[in-house]
């Protein structure tokens, strides 16, 4: 049986359980109006078995506006659908 680890104060980091789907390859890009030419690509951590840039926490619009950098993040397959660790 899976065990959920409680992390007080870090609720925004945990994705709510959803049905497993292979429709998980997505690219998010924020391009500021006054860009500097810098590009920031960010991969989430999670031991290759949890995580999602679909969480509002990872919205890159503010970072792009403050720095002038193009901010990119992406979702990818995890656990058995991605890395094959069982």
pLDDT digits (tens, 9 = 90+) for 1-39: 444 555 555 555 555 555 656 666 788 899 999 888 899
Helices (H), 1-86: 61-67
Contacts of 3 (CB under 8 A, 6+ apart): none
pLDDT for position 45: 64
Nearest to 40 by CA among 13, 12, 73: 73
Read off the pTM.
0.61
23's tokens: 């429709």
pLDDT for position 77: 66
Band of pLDDT at residue 64, cut at 50, 70 and 90: very high
pLDDT for position 28: 87
Domain boundaries, the chain: 34-86
Which percentage of the chain shows pLDDT scores above 90? 21
């Amino acid at each position: 049986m899976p065990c959920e680890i409680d992390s007080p104060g870090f609720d925004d980091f945990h994705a709510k359980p959803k049905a497993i789907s292979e429709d998980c390859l997505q690219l998010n890009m924020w391009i500021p109006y006054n860009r500097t030419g810098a590009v920031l690509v960010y991969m989430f951590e999670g031991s290759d078995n949890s995580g999602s840039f679909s969480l509002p926490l990872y919205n890159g619009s503010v970072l792009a506006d403050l720095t002038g950098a193009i901010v990119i993040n992406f979702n990818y397959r995890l656990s058995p659908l991605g890395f094959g660790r069982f």
